[in-house]
Amino acid sequence: MSGRNIGIKDVAAAAGVSATTVSQVLNDVASARISPETRDRVRSAAGQLGYGPNSVARALRTSRTALLGLVIEDVGTSPHAGQVIRGADEAARARGYSLLVINTAGSAGPDAREADVESLLVRRVDGILYATMHPRQLQLPANLGDVPAVLVDAVSAVGAGSCVSGFAAVVPDDDGGARAAVGCLLAAGHTRVESIGAGDQEQGGYAAARRILARADRPTGLVCHDEPMAMGVYRAAAELGLAIPADLSVVAFANNHLLAANLYPALTTVTRPHTEMASRATEILIDGIEGRADLAGLAVHPTALPCTLTARGSVGPPPFPATPRGNF
Amino acid sequence: MSGRNIGIKDVAAAAGVSATTVSQVLNDVASARISPETRDRVRSAAGQLGYGPNSVARALRTSRTALLGLVIEDVGTSPHAGQVIRGADEAARARGYSLLVINTAGSAGPDAREADVESLLVRRVDGILYATMHPRQLQLPANLGDVPAVLVDAVSAVGAGSCVSGFAAVVPDDDGGARAAVGCLLAAGHTRVESIGAGDQEQGGYAAARRILARADRPTGLVCHDEPMAMGVYRAAAELGLAIPADLSVVAFANNHLLAANLYPALTTVTRPHTEMASRATEILIDGIEGRADLAGLAVHPTALPCTLTARGSVGPPPFPATPRGNF
DNA sequence: TTGAAAGCGCTAACAG
DNA sequence: CTGTTAGCGCTTTCAA
């Protein structure tokens, strides 16, 4: 029942004051000297009537919408787009902002990207979060510069090196994540650790894993760059008679909790902090909008957030003696 | 450079006409009689100046924001929240609307849900899409009724039966999906088909699968209610020496393409049409907002959209003779 | 300590 | 065929 159609002047009438006073009381205007009694009267009248401000009118007047645009790649395909949205939503809400979300194809060209941003600018968003699904350099749409903007998971191709025209960015500390992955294998006692990655994607890493694991000097620990690879490794290991983790330990960069937890053995993962990156980026953006932070200054170096190692069942001590068992 | 700060009167001045004329030309107002020459002059002036309408001012004037609220459960946890967002985004954009997205915890109580909706109402959204992550009856927040609303993946607990207070809803045709799942097993020649579902969730269905597959009269085809169960079945089968699909065929309700495609053998799935449900719901909602459809009328029966069977590698003909091999 | 007045940019009656 | 006028609900000088 909260009256969506009663306005400031209804409250004013009910409280026996002017609209100005209502506005000042309800917005806690610092410079306004208003007696405590009046304040009470206004507030209770507002409460009584179920008054809620009309954010559209306010936006028109102040030219601030408290709307944040979120451009996000491949929502619905990528497993972690949702985490980005959640992080941004939480942080935005905590500071009184709302999220205008727009999906963009990872494959989209510059024109389409510019149109996506434009559709947010038309809405007069106060700022834009630009999230990509894989950490990378990005050719950004030119109109992104029309409002404060922060990148999530990507760094500006333009800004790299030339500190001047870049955007503030929040990225995962992949190097640290890789160190953590290798480190957990070393800590378990492994000495022969390899990684299979970007170049080995046929059949989700299965072929590469077959090749690697068939070698006499095969590694006892493997770091995978994503989930499909880990699954390929599991399959290859099973076929070669190698048990995980008894004969082979596996760690993977992965964000699909559902998958990692339900593999057998459950997959030890390094996860990128998508939710945190998004909420951090959102806070930076809002600070920038509100003049609490200098976005241009922050653009010089991206903010890197640590990845998290989640130990599950796929890492154990190396076999000893470390002789390949083969497929008998 | 599209001038975000040049207004209708700048265009009017440039074209030598009044603001009214500009507004009418640019909005193609049907009742306006304006000469073609004037129209041209206005349009080219607008183009020249890079004029874009101020949607905030327009919203204030017309009390229509062209904003749709999307309340969505467990973004970031659920694998298909993204698909819902994508479907809604596409449909909304196609009709000139934008999406205000808000995440809500699946576990949230009525008060929190009401607050979530309230935060959208404050923004003066023209309508709300309310998406849950599992098809089910739902206790809806009371204030959802304040604007046109359509449910995605859920039906109103209130509206069930009593056609009066319900909301229009778009749901998956799970029955049809189940028939398709069973049907593809029958078509492959199976005669002993079972399903493992809601009651068997410990260890993702692994325990249930062990039990079922150990029986002498074990089924040769299994329908799983979700991905973790399918993974549990794969594991149980492997341990019991049952090959998929030679000894056991598996179909699962699943939306995680990444997972299904990378299991070995790849998992045959029945997928719920989340993207289509969302875009359909969005269209219905917009039709309702624009007076082209009667949402109350649609509330009587939810719109059910068909699930899709994707044949991958986990279904084959049953073993013949169909004798259990056991674990020798 | 409070109120009157102006105006954000736009649209919609109504007059010409 | 086109322009004038009013006003959406709010904030913000400025004056009282």
Are residues B263 and A82, on separate chains, in Cβ contact within 8 Å? no
> What pLDDT is attached to residue B159?
42
Q: What is the mean pLDDT of residues B284-289?
A: 96
At residue A1 the predicted structure's pLDDT band, cuts being 50, 70 and 90, is very low
Strand D proximal to A29 Cβ, under 7 A = yes
How many CB pairs below 8 Å do chains A and B form together?
Answer: 164
One DSSP character per residue, A151-165 reads EEEEEETTTSS-TTS
Average pLDDT over residues B198-213: 81
Which 8-state DSSP code applies to residue B241? T
State the Cα–Cα distance between residues B55 and A63, nearest whole angstrom: 11
More confident residue, A217 or A158: A217
User: Would you state the pLDDT for residue A108?
Assistant: 85
Cβ atoms A68, A99 nearer than 8 A: yes
Residues 206-265 of A with CB under 8 A from B: 206, 227-228, 231-232, 235, 238, 256-259, 261-264
Distance A116 CA to C6 C1' (A): 36
Q: What pLDDT is stored for residue B257 in this prediction?
A: 82
Partner-chain contact A123 B59, CB within 8 Å? no
Question: Is B76 within 8 Å of A79 when comparing Cβ atoms?
Answer: no
Q: How confident is the model at residue A157 (pLDDT cuts 50, 70, 90)?
A: low
Residue of B nearest to A63 (CA): B56
Has residue B252 got a pLDDT over 90? yes
pLDDT tens by residue, A36-50: 999 999 999 999 999
* Positions on chain D within 7 A of a protein C-beta: 1-5, 7-13
* Of A10-19, B25-34, B160-169, B263-272, minimum mean pLDDT range: B160-169
Query: Could B77 and A77 be called an inter-chain contact, meaning their C-beta atoms sit closer than 8 Å?
Result: no
The pLDDT of B162-191, averaged and rounded, is: 87
What three-state secondary structure class fits A127?
A: strand
Residue B25 has pLDDT above 80, yes or no: yes
Neighbour order of strands in the sheet with B268-271: B193-196, B221-224, B249-253, B268-271, B308-310
Note whether B207 and B200 are within 8 A (CB). yes
Q: Which residue has the higher pLDDT, A74 or B129?
A: B129
Average pLDDT taken over every residue of chain A: 89
Query: Average pLDDT in the B81-107 region?
Result: 94
Give the DSSP H/E element, type plus range, for residue A68.
strand A67-73
Average pLDDT over residues A119-141: 87
Hey, how many other C-beta atoms are within 10 angstroms of the C-beta on A70? 29
Q: CB–CB of A141/A111 below 8 Å?
A: no
B4 touches chain A (CB under 8 A): yes
- Residue A120 CA to nucleotide D2 C1', Å? 34
Q: What band does A199 get if pLDDT is binned at 50, 70 and 90?
A: confident
pTM: 0.92
pLDDT of B117: 95
Tokens of A110: 């510059």
For residue B181, the model assigns a pLDDT of 97
CB of A21 lies under 7 Å from some atom of strand D: no
Checking if the pLDDT of B321 tops 60, the result is no
**A7 pLDDT above the threshold of 70:** yes
pLDDT given at position A83: 93
CB of A155 within 8 A of CB of A301?
A: no
How many Å apart are CA A88 and CA A258, to the nearest integer?
22
Of the partner residues A53, A82, A274, the one whose CB lies closest to the CB of residue B82: A82
pLDDT above 70: residue A135: no
- Residue A325 pLDDT greater than 50, yes or no: no
Nearest neighbour of A256 by CB, restricted to B60, B119, B258: B258
- Per-residue pLDDT, B136: 67
Average of pLDDT values for B236-241? 92
The reply to whether the CB atom of residue A311 sits less than 7 A from any atom in nucleic acid chain D is no
Residue at token pair 């091999």 = B325
DSSP labels, B141-204: -GGGGGS-EEEEEEEETTTSS-TTS--EEEEEEHHHHHHHHHHHHHHTT---EEEE-GGG-GGG
Chain B CB contacts of A83 below 8 Å: 75-76
Q: In the predicted model, what is the mean pLDDT of chain B?
A: 89
pLDDT reported for residue B200: 67
Judge whether residue A127 has pLDDT over 70.
yes
**What is the C-alpha separation between A217 and A95, in angstroms, rounded?**
56
Q: In what order do the strands lie in the sheet with A308-310?
A: A193-196, A221-224, A249-253, A268-271, A308-310
Interval A13-66: pLDDT, tens = 999 999 999 999 999 988 888 999 999 999 999 999 999 999 999 999 999 999
pLDDT value of residue A322: 47
In tens, the pLDDT along A291-323 reads 999 998 888 889 999 999 999 999 999 997 544
Q: B159 or B153, which is more confident?
A: B153
A119 CB within 8 Å of a chain B CB: yes
- A103, B122: Cβ pair inside 8 Å? no
Residue B99: per-residue pLDDT = 98
- Predicted confidence band at A326 (pLDDT cuts at 50, 70, 90)? very low
Report the residue of chain B nearest A64, measured CA to CA.
B56
Contact between B231 and A103 using a beta-carbon 8 Å cutoff: no
Tell me the mean pLDDT in the region B47-66. Answer: 95
Dihedral angle, C-alpha A208, A210, A215, A219, nearest 10 °? 70
Give the pLDDT score at A200. Answer: 67
How many angstroms separate the Cα of B143 from the Cα of each of A7, B106, B139, B154, B220?
Answer: 19, 18, 12, 17, 50
Contact flag, residue A30 CB and nucleic strand C, below 7 A: no
pLDDT higher than 80, residue A202:
no
With cut-offs at 50, 70 and 90, classify the pLDDT of residue A201.
low
Q: Of chain A residues 71-110, which have a CB less than 8 A from chain B?
A: 75-87, 89-90, 93, 98-103
- pLDDT (tens digit per residue) in A254-284: 888 888 988 989 999 999 999 999 999 999 9
